[in-house]
Amino acid sequence: MKIMNSKNIPVKERLIFALDVQNNQEAMKLIETLGDSVHFYKLGLELLMGGDYFKLVDYLIQRNKKIFADIKFFDVPETVKRAVSQLEGRGVSFTTVHGNDSILKSAVEVKKDLKIFAVTVLTSLDRGDLNDLGFQCNVDELVLSRAKRALEIGCDGVISSGLEVAKLRDHLGDRLLVISPGIRPVENREEDDQKRIVTVEQAFHNGADYIVVGRPIKNAANPKLKAEEIQHAIQTCFSLRN
> C-alpha distances in angstroms, 62 versus 11, 55, 65, 130, 211?
21, 11, 8, 42, 23
- Pick the range with the lowest mean pLDDT from 51-55, 185-189, 207-211: 185-189
Task: Give tens-digit pLDDT for 155-185.
Answer: 999 998 888 898 899 999 998 999 998 886 5
Confidence tier at 132 by pLDDT (50, 70, 90): low
How many other CB atoms are there within 10 angstroms of residue 95's CB atom? 24
d(C-alpha 24, C-alpha 86), whole Å:
20
For residues 117 and 159, is the Cβ–Cβ distance under 8 A? Answer: yes
User: Could you tell me which of 235, 240, 239, 242 has the C-alpha nearest to residue 15?
Assistant: 235
Residue 24 neighbours by CB under 8 Å, 6+ apart: 47, 50, 51, 52, 55, 56, 59
Q: What's the predicted TM-score (pTM) here?
A: 0.88
Which residues belong to the active site? Answer: 72
Amino acid 177: pLDDT: 96
Residue 37: phi, psi to the nearest 5?
A: -80, -15
pLDDT per residue over 73-96, tens digit each?
999 999 999 999 999 999 999 999
Which of these, 195, 103, 189, 101, lies nearest to 145 by C-alpha position?
Answer: 101
Q: What does the pLDDT average to over 199-220? A: 93
- The share of the chain scoring above pLDDT 70, in percent, equals 83
